[in-house]
Structure 1
C-alpha cells in the first residue's frame, strides 16, 4: 500500500461476495460501488455492496461506467441517478463518479451496435461536450458535480487534455504501484493533482485498491460538502485573471466558516464565501499573517479584496 493517505477500494458485480469486515480490518475506510453502465446495465450486487460497506463504517459512493456513443451524457446521468447514483450531504456518501476510460468493447458489434475504437469513434470536442452534459445533469439532479475516473494517457489521447474540468475532482488510475508513492502524470490541462489514486487492480483489497490523497478529516469533508455553483464559477473567474497562482493542487473544498470554499494552487489559494465572493490569496507575507491569525476563523475573517500593491515605499494591502 502507499504510505500516505486513506485506503479504499472499488468493486462491481465481478466481486459478489466481499467480506467487508475483512476489508475494514485491512485498513479500507471508503468504497466505491459500480451502479450502472450506459443506460442498459445495472450491477445486481449494488445494494448489497453499497450497504455492506456502510454497515462496517465505510464512507461509500457509486460510479457509472460511461459508454458515450450509446446515448447522451444527460441520458446516462439520469439512468445513473435512478439506479443508485445519488448523493446527499450526510457525511458518509462520497460524490458520484463518472468512469470515463478505454472502450472495453473496442471494435465489437453487439446486438447490432458498433462500439467503435478506444475513443468510441468520437472526437475530442464531442467527448468533452459529453462529459459536461453528464456533469451538468448530475449537478442539477444531486447538487454535486461528479468525480471523474480516468487514465491519463487515454484522456490525453481521446480528449486532447482540455481545460475546463478543474472543478471536477480527479480519480486517476495508474499502476502497477511503485515504492515511489507516485501516481505519475495527471492530465495537466485541467488538474494539478488527484483526489483519489487507483494504484492496483490485483490487491491488496477486493476489486481495485485506491488511496485518498489526504487525511481522514479531509475525506469526510470531501464526502459531506457539495461545491455551490456560485463558488465554482467565481473561483474559476479569479483563476483566469491570476495565472501567477500556477496550477491547481487541490479540488475545490467547501465546509469553511459560513459556507465558504477554497482551492489551492502552486503559489497560493483562492478563497470564496457567499457574502464576500472570491479573491486570490497569493503566497507571501500577507497570506502568512492571515494564516497566523487563523485564516477565515480568526479576527480578520475572509478576504474582501484582491492583494493590491503600489503604496508608499512599495507597500501592499
Structure 2
C-alpha cells in the first residue's frame, strides 16, 4: 500500500516548490519531509525528486504522482468526514482570519463554538488574507476569513469555495477641527498633500491607501506607520496625520476625531469565508459559516452601490450548492 504520509509530503513539495516550503506547510522539519519522500520512492522503486542546485525538482513521475495524489488526498479528506462518528467528540475547527475580522466578527462566533462545559470547538490565528487563503487551500486550517478589496484582488483556488459574509468600507479618519471634517464625503483630490499615518508597507490597507492616488499623479505623504489601528486613530486625534481605516473591527472613535467616507466609495472590501470543497458537507463547517453570516449581517448587510458591478475572483464555481444539514442541537459540531 502506498504511504500516505509520503504522498502528502510529495504533494506539499509540488505545491510550494521546495522541501523547506513543504516542511513549513506540514509542520515538519525539512529533514522529515525528505525522509517521507524517500520512503515513498523506495516503496515505488522510482525517483520522485531530483536535486537542482540548492533546491529540488520533481521528476516526470513525481509530477504525475503529485497531481493525482492531490485529488486522492482531497477525496480521502471527504471520506473521513463522511465516515466520522457524529456522536464522538468533534475536532476543534482551525480558523485563519485577518485581525480586524478577528476583532469585529469572530467574538460571537467563537462564543457559540463551545461545548456545554465550555470547551473550545474552534481556534483562530490572525494572518494576512493572502496567507489565510494559502493555509485553507493546503489544509493547514479548516476555514479562512478573508477579504477582497476591489483595488487589491484576492484569488481563490479552484478547490476552495468562498461565501459572502459582509461588506466593509474604509473611511478617512481625521481630527474634528480639520478643514475637511465638516464635509459629509471627501473627494480624493482634496486629500493630496495631507500627512498620513498608515499600516506598514506591504500590508493590504497600505496598498489601498496608495490606490486612492493612483490616477491623481500623486503619492500619499506617509509620516507614520503602525500595525495598530488605535495608534493611527490617536495620531489623528493629536493632529499629526490622517488615516484610511476600515470600519470592521474599528473601536469607537474618541472625542476630537471623525470618520468620513470617500465620495466615490471606492475603498470597499467584501469579507468572505473560504473552505475546501472537500469540507463542504462538514456540519462543523456549515455551522461556522452560518454563525459568520449572522455576525456579518450585523456589520453591513447591504452591498454598497459602487461595488455591485464587481465580481469576486475565484476558481470555477461548484456545480451545486453545498447541502444544508439539519440545524445542530446544543453546541455540538463536527
TM-score norm. by structure 1 comes to: 0.23
> Bigger radius of gyration, 1 or 2?
2
TM-score norm. by structure 2 comes to: 0.22
Higher relative contact order (CA 8 A, sep 6+): 2
Instruction: Answer 1 or 2: which has greater helix percent.
Output: 2
